[in-house]
Amino acid sequence: MREQLGLLAPVFAPMLNDRGLIQRKRETRAAFRDLFGSVPNGVLILQGDGQPGVINAPPAVLSGLTAGEETAGEIAAATRELFSSGAPR
């Protein structure tokens, strides 16, 4: 029985390691969302790789978007419209 368990260790060790990495990634994302949402200044993050961007509440209110994830195109269009309209900076 011990030998069989020893044979399983190389299989389960990477799985457990991957599970730990996934959990840490979730915790990091949650911490980022908490911090991002609590910043009183407007923050927009666009990565330029086709991934959704994120926008916090202050610019979302000005642009008519919803705080959180938005497509990069939506954020860019709303930002262009906001600045071309002469909105206060």
Contact 44, 60 (CB under 8 A): no
DSSP 56-81: -HHHHHHHTPPSEEE-HHHHHHHHHH
Instruction: Say what the pTM is.
Output: 0.61
For CA atoms 38, 42, 47, 52, give the dihedral sign. Answer: positive
Per-residue pLDDT of the chain (89 residues; tens, 9 = 90+): 667 667 777 777 777 778 888 899 999 989 988 898 898 999 988 887 878 888 999 989 888 898 988 998 898 898 888 888 775 55
Contact 74, 39 (CB under 8 A): no
